[in-house]
Amino acid sequence: MTDEKEKSDFGKGTTYCIGLFLAHESMHDGEPSWTPELWFNGASDHFYDLQTTGNKEIDERLKNLQAKCLHWGYGFAPPVATKEDKAWALQESKEILLMIDRHFLAVDTEKGQWE
SS3 103: helix
Q: What is the pLDDT of residue 77?
A: 80
Taking 70 as the threshold, does the pLDDT of residue 38 lie above it?
A: yes
Phi, psi of 48, deg, nearest 5? -55, -45
What stretches of 12-79 adopt beta strand conformation (E)?
A: none
Mind listing the pLDDT tens digit for each residue in 41-72? 999 999 999 999 999 999 999 999 999 999 99
* Residues contacting 20, CB < 8 A, separation 6+: 10, 11, 46
Half-sphere exposure of 71 (CA within 13 A, CB side): 14
